[in-house]
Amino acid sequence: MANHKSAEKRNRQSQVRRLRNRTITTRMKNVMKDVDTAIATGSQEDAQAALKIAVPVIAKTASKGTIHKKNASRKVSRLTKRVNKMQASA
């Protein structure tokens, strides 16, 4: 346990940030799963709609500093690539 006043404050701040990062990350993972589910069902309209929702959520996660900007870009790129591949095959 922290013994100094500054260490106690740091502990409080890190707990708040951990919870905030956890909720943001969970939201991002859920919207990514929605895109995966839409791709698995084969519905092009649902996949496009889910992707349209997922892209800003992933970008916001990166802007908050929860994930790195390039990590977010890679996630968006891979999801878009999978949706486009599904549409090309149909």
Whole-model pTM: value is: 0.88
Count of domains observed in the chain = 1
User: Any idea what the CATH number is for the domain that residue 59 is in?
Assistant: 1.20.58.110
pLDDT digits (tens, 9 = 90+) for 36-65: 999 999 999 999 999 999 999 999 999 999
pLDDT score for 1: 72
Residues of the domain holding 25: 5-89
pLDDT digits (tens, 9 = 90+) for 14-31: 999 999 999 999 999 999
Position 4 pLDDT exceeds 90: yes
Please tell me whether residue 67 adopts helix, strand or coil conformation.
coil
From first CA to last CA, the distance across the chain in angstroms is 59
